[in-house]
Chains A and B, each alone.
Chain A
């Protein structure tokens, strides 16, 4: 099983619908992130959480919200989806407590969202 699991892997929805993308991890990491990737573009940070009680906006948070239900779970919601939110979404984790201190991010396999 993957250490960072995203569901659903693919989703097609219509404009105005509410969508939730879920992320769970078994790595025991304290930090979790949501990124968006568009074709030919880099990964853009949507939201990040350093622990259960800490939620922070990234560079493109408008139109999105998140919930850190537990240390292992971090969900991303689109309250009213629009076509320009069509993208590949990645959840990632990192461990601030490890001795390696590389800041390495561990990514899930991605959730491809299409908004018609």
Chain B
């Protein structure tokens, strides 16, 4: 069955540094991959989508890469701020846009 892996341990970084989060998938060939942000007790909020024919997508301080050979997506936040502290979920999918969510990685940015 398809499996989506995100680092279960929280990522702690200092303000101003670049945060890099990883999403790996197996037994799956997604046509796209979405990234969401989730704050404690809140619903996830969509950030970015990258398609299988795109290597990289940027939005403000966010950058996402998608390597279908490695079966991996990397999510980068440059010049990180304490307000970026949250859980980030990756959600690969194909077809009818019903993504399957990973468990998420908690990011903590220290001032």
Contacts and interface: CB of A to CB of B under 8 A. Distances in A.
B101 A96 contact: no
Nearest to A40: B103
B103 A104 contact: no
Interface residues of A, number: 25
B34 A104 contact: yes
Given A104-B46, A107-B45, A42 B34 contact: no
Interface string A18-41: 000000000000000101000011
Nearest to A100: B49
A3 to B, nearest CB: 11
A45 B104 CA distance: 16
Interface string B74-111: 00000000000000010001001111111110000000
Contact of B46 (A45, A90, A105, A108): A105
A74 B49 CA distance: 26
Contacts, number: 54
A102 B98 contact: no
Interface residues of B, number: 23
Contacts of B98: 33, 45, 48
- Secondary structure call for the B interface: loop
Contacts of A43: 44, 89, 101
Contact of B43 (A40, A42, A107): A107
A16 to B, nearest CB: 28
Contacts of B42: 109-110
Interface string B6-36: 0010000000000000000000000010101
Closest 6 CB pairs of A and B: A107-B43, A103-B97, A43-B101, A42-B101, A104-B46, A42-B103
Interface of A: 4, 33, 35, 40-45, 48, 50, 88, 90, 92, 94, 96, 102-110
